[in-house]
Structure 1
Amino acid sequence: MKCLIIAAGKGSRLWHKGKSKPLIPVLGIPLIERVIRSVTASGIDDFYIVIGYKGEQVRTFLDALSKRLGINVTFIINNEWEKENGYSVLKAKGYINEPFLLLMADHLFDPVNVNKLIKYPLDDGDIVIGTDKNVHNPLVDLQDVTRVYTENGKIRKIGKGLTSYNGFDTGIFLCTPAIFNAIERRLSEFNDTTLSGAIQLLAAHGNANDHKIVPESRLFNQEDSIDNSMLDSFFDDDFFRSKKSPFEEMEKIRERMMRQFESHSGDSKGGIFDSWFKKKFGGGNPGEIKQREDDDFVYYDITIKDLVNQKLDIQVQDGQITISGTIEKKSSDKEDKENSRQYFSSTFHRSFPVPYGVDDTKVQIDQDGEKVIIKLPKIK
């Protein structure tokens, strides 16, 4: 399935955050990258991006991203980006002639919503809109959000000025090419270039369907596989190999992520990230791993508490470095005398990607107490 993403607007309300709205970072990752990664989690890899304002900046970024993610990106130019978003959608008419996913570059969502929406049994000439039924959400800007009134699985009315409504438009759509015809008709009859106007036209004929998105409680309050898959997607091997200090960058993103969760729900959700990190890297936290380099080597400095001072095992396989060894701890029973405390031993491992530009057949490892230093010679 093809995915059309609208990324042509100026984004004046976010101007203080950055000059190109699609490239404004959220927790260190640009908005449009988050949208694309959320879609690729459902197996979609064919993207059509409508660009306009600061289009070359967006194109340059997406050219690099497409190579990293192994996706196809076709750019569609909208030189009249000042018009409403329906006009940007219409620009894709000559490119897409089959059912497609329609998204906005600045609308973030749980990937599970896309995965469910693309399975909707769509009839020819219909569209489906992902709607949020939590109309009492205090985070929603009622002056800006597009409201919908739904009944029996159908969109009956849509618009920002609705006084009677029971949901919000989330900017997630499954469309047939009928949406292009509806936009053209609204444009010719009313000079209306809004997407909502075209949807209202389809709704009047019973062709606009309602699809309830995953509840907010799932998006923010559940520790499930979706969270792990999103973290896997964001912090993939390319993230580590493209950053000069990836673990330091990860720790900064983690801190911002936790603050955002805490401000939203009063819970930092540190357990989601920490359990994922332990599973992926074998334990510890990003703050215990430092990456540095000089003219000859790339180094990983790893702190492992209670590490026994003995030879460590290191393996390089499938682009991953794995070290393993033994941790030894004393009993925590304070009533025991010092010389009678028991010792408990366990094994550990840490794994992380091999950086670009190094010879992974000549890995060196040094140990100084609880500090392990891995040296990877640069290829010259």
Structure 2
Amino acid sequence: MITTAVLLAAGEGSRLRSAAASKPLCHVGGRALIDHAITGFAAAGLARVVVVLGYEAERIEAHLAAGRWPVAVETVRTADYRQPNGVSVLAAEHALAGEEAVLAMCDHLVDPALYARVAQSGAGCGARLAIDRRITSDLVDLDDVTCVRTEGEAIVAIGKHLEGYDCFDTGVFAIGPGLFAALSSLESPSLTEGMRVLAEHGAALTIDCSDLDWIDVDDPAALDKAEHWLRAA
């Protein structure tokens, strides 16, 4: 089982700026988004979290230093937080030293059981994405979600506004050296482009997590949905 998580918390989060100056520190359900993620990893049985920082890095580092966490937490910084998110993923490569990890987004609220399932699945020879086949879910923003088309467990197409999709990208992956190699081959690496590279070689796989809930807290409307979701849980 994978025991390390990589948490992307480097972006500006401009669409949520009205609620918080720093998206990872935006409160939902009485706690910062980054706190939900870290405690969720611990509940899933992970032991270590590598947090990738960029925008407002000093403020987030201070928040992490002041906390008492149930897992080991360390930070790295992306070379440029304005670049595509694959650059932030690459910033964590040295810290993993060739080991596999669970990769997640700081602005996603996720049932810890989803992290656990991904940790148990492993990355295969490239990367494995947790998918949700509930394509009519009201927790998902169709204008923002990354869509996926699959054949068996393999990804054959991925992207926003994809035609003919059969599931959604939950933002949680099992990753290994194969994904880092794919991202390093790209001039402007994004996670989606990295997964496309892997898909060309049959190395972009999926794990079905349609029975587990998650929500991308990307704007005030999603924040409101997340508050209601947590109260109902």
Q: TM-score, normalised by structure 1?
A: 0.55
Structure 1 portions without partners, runs of 5+: 221-255, 273-380
Corresponding residue for residue 301 of structure 1: none
Corresponding residue for residue 155 of structure 1: 155
Q: 1:117-151: CA deviations, max 9, x gaps?
A: 1111543x321100111111233221111110011
**Secondary structure of 1:163's aligned partner:** coil
Corresponding residue for residue 202 of structure 2: 206
Q: 1:218-243: CA deviations, max 9, x gaps?
A: x49xxxxxxxxxxxxxxxxxxxxxxx
| Structure 1 CA distance for aligned equivalents of residues 38 and 186 of structure 2 | 29
Deviation at 1:203, TM superposition (A): 0.9
Deviation at 1:13, TM superposition (A): 0.7
Moved runs in structure 1, 4+ residues, more than 3 A? 256-259
Deviation at 1:42, TM superposition (A): 1.9
| Structure 2 CA distance for aligned equivalents of residues 78 and 122 of structure 1 | 23
| Structure 1 CA distance for aligned equivalents of residues 137 and 225 of structure 2 | 21
| Structure 2 CA distance for aligned equivalents of residues 159 and 107 of structure 1 | 18
**Secondary structure of 1:196's aligned partner:** helix
Q: 1:36-89: CA deviations, max 9, x gaps?
A: 111101221211111010001110111122xx1243222111241001111100
Partner AA of 1:260 in structure 2? H
Corresponding residue for residue 12 of structure 2: 10
1:109 paired with 2:110, answer: yes
Residue 17 to residue 185, structure 1, CA distance change in 2 (3 Å): same
Residue 134 to residue 180, structure 1, CA distance change in 2 (3 Å): same
**Secondary structure of 1:37's aligned partner:** helix
1:215 paired with 2:216, answer: no
Aligned residues: 221
- Asked if structure 2 preserves the Cα contact closer than 8 Å seen for 1:87 and 1:194, the reply is yes
Residue 55 to residue 108, structure 1, CA distance change in 2 (3 Å): same
- Single out whichever of 159-168 and 4-13 deviates more from structure 2: 159-168
- Asked if structure 2 preserves the Cα contact closer than 8 Å seen for 1:113 and 1:214, the reply is no
Deviation at 1:193, TM superposition (A): 2.1
**Secondary structure of 1:180's aligned partner:** helix
Higher RCO (C-alpha 8 Å, min separation 6): 2
| Structure 1 CA distance for aligned equivalents of residues 170 and 63 of structure 2 | 25
Corresponding residue for residue 220 of structure 2: none
| Structure 1 CA distance for aligned equivalents of residues 200 and 190 of structure 2 | 16
Corresponding residue for residue 37 of structure 2: 35
- Asked if structure 2 preserves the Cα contact closer than 8 Å seen for 1:27 and 1:257, the reply is no
Residue 70 to residue 110, structure 1, CA distance change in 2 (3 Å): closer
Residue 258 to residue 153, structure 1, CA distance change in 2 (3 Å): closer
Q: 1:259-291: CA deviations, max 9, x gaps?
A: 714xx9xxx74xx7xxxxxxxxxxxxxxxxxxx
The one of 50, 63, 66 equivalent to 1:64 is: 66
**Secondary structure of 1:94's aligned partner:** helix
Corresponding residue for residue 135 of structure 1: 135
| Structure 2 CA distance for aligned equivalents of residues 105 and 16 of structure 1 | 18
Partner AA of 1:194 in structure 2? S
Deviation at 1:206, TM superposition (A): 0.6
Q: How does 1:40-59 map to 2 (within 5 A)?
A: 40-59=42-61
| Structure 2 CA distance for aligned equivalents of residues 18 and 157 of structure 1 | 34
**Secondary structure of 2:109's aligned partner:** coil
Q: 1:345-374: CA deviations, max 9, x gaps?
A: xxxxxxxxxxxxxxxxxxxxxxxxxxxxxx
Corresponding residue for residue 91 of structure 2: 91
Q: 1:299-331: CA deviations, max 9, x gaps?
A: xxxxxxxxxxxxxxxxxxxxxxxxxxxxxxxxx
Percent identity over the alignment is: 32
Partner AA of 1:184 in structure 2? S
Structure 2 portions without partners, runs of 5+: 215-223
- Asked if structure 1 preserves the Cα contact closer than 8 Å seen for 2:133 and 2:208, the reply is yes
**Secondary structure of 1:69's aligned partner:** coil
| Structure 1 CA distance for aligned equivalents of residues 24 and 159 of structure 2 | 24
The CA RMSD over aligned residues, in Å, is: 2.2
Deviation at 1:258, TM superposition (A): 11
Deviation at 1:111, TM superposition (A): 0.8
